Amino acid sequence: PQKVIAIDGPSASGKGTVAQRVAEALGWAYLDSGALYRITALHARRRGADWADEAAVAALAQALPAEFAAGAVLLDGEDVSAAIRSEEIGMGASQVAALPAVREALLQRQRAFLGEQGLVADGRDMGSVVFPDAVLKIFLTAGAKVRAERRARQIGEPLSGERFERILAAIEARDEADRKRAVAPLQKLPEARLLDTSALTIEESVKKVLDWYRE
Ligand code: C5P
């Protein structure tokens, strides 16, 4: 098996935070594959390419001038860590991620994150496509309402009311799109362990993953 822990799951499930902490605990590298799709969407927008134009977006993804440096995400040398986190760019990422040529263009780049020390990879198709021989595969999820609350806290929005309902609706719409698409649909693989973090703290979730890895 590959020295990879693949953590797949829906948006705002907390998988990014859990994956980063697990990587820290093991001294492994961390891959935020969603960030690559987000950067691709932002790059396409800035270059005036339509998110539905498969050939144009794939060409941009193939030569993506992106770097991950000290926790920051750089595009053309500019820190875009905050810019790629908007729900609009999230939706754009979901759109470009449905194009097979775009996924193909980003495949080797994702695999290159695996070095000697091992890798914790977070996304939608880490266990199915990018690292099918991962030593441990996890489907990390939480109830939609819990995920909307986590997202709201993250971006400083209220936990009830109309603005909250809009966050919840956006999360559900993106998950629905990710589940229904023909390529790399969001799904739990039969061999993946299910980790529902609805009632777990980050520490408890991290411990669960480490326990499974050490089993
Ligand atoms: O995880 P995150 O919300 O950053 O991902 C943004 C979008 O990128 C997702 O909605 C999904 O459509 C896409 N994605 C993907 N495959 C991955 C990671 C993200 O298709 N491995």
pLDDT of residue 128: 96
**148 alpha carbon to ligand 1 midpoint, in Å?**
16
In whole numbers, what is the pLDDT of the chain averaged over residues? Answer: 96
86 confidence band (pLDDT: 50, 70, 90) = confident
Share of the chain above pLDDT 90, in %: 94
Ligand 1 atom nearest 16 alpha carbon: 1
Three-class SS state of 122: strand
121 pLDDT exceeds 90? Answer: yes
Q: Which of 5-9, 85-89, 116-120, 187-191 has the lowest mean pLDDT?
A: 85-89
- Maximum alpha-carbon separation in the chain: 49
pLDDT at 188: 96
Is 125 near ligand 1, meaning CB less than 6 Å away?
A: yes
**Whether the predicted pLDDT of 87 surpasses 90:** no
Cβ contacts of 95 within 8 Å, gap of 6 or more:
41, 51, 52
Q: Is residue 14 very low, low, confident or very high in pLDDT (cuts 50, 70, 90)?
A: very high
pLDDT band at 113 (very low <50, low <70, confident <90, very high): very high
- The b/e string for 165-176 (b: 16+ C-beta within 10 A; e otherwise) is eebbebbbebbe
Tokens for 69, please give them.
Answer: 């440096």
Rounded average pLDDT over 68-80: 92
Q: Is the pLDDT of residue 154 over 90?
A: no
What pLDDT is attached to residue 206? 98
**94: CA distance to ligand 1 center in Å?**
6
ipTM > 0.85, yes or no: yes
pTM exceeds 0.80, yes or no = yes
- Contact criterion met (CB below 8 Å) for 106 and 37: yes
Categorize the per-residue pLDDT at 145 as very low, low, confident or very high, splitting at 50, 70 and 90: very high
111 has a pLDDT exceeding 90: yes
Distance between CA atoms of residues 191 and 137, nearest Å:
7
Tokens representing 141 are 């999820």
Q: Which of 4, 85, 88, 94 to mutate to test the pocket of ligand 1 (most atoms within 8 A of CB)?
A: 94
Tokens of 3: 């020295």
Q: Would you say the CB of residue 147 lies under 6 angstroms from ligand 1?
A: no
pLDDT at residue 155, rounded to an integer: 85
Q: Is the CB of 94 under 6 A from ligand 1?
A: yes
Compute the distance between CA of residue 191 and CA of residue 106 in angstroms, rounded to an integer.
Answer: 25
CA dist 199 and 196 (Å) reads 8
Those residues with Cβ within 8 angstroms of residue 45's Cβ, 6 or more apart along the chain or in another chain: 51, 89, 92
According to the model, what pLDDT value does residue 192 have?
98
In this predicted model, what pLDDT tens digit does every residue of 176-201 receive, in sequence order?
A: 999 999 999 999 999 999 999 999 99
Q: Is the C-beta atom of 205 inside 6 A of ligand 1?
A: no
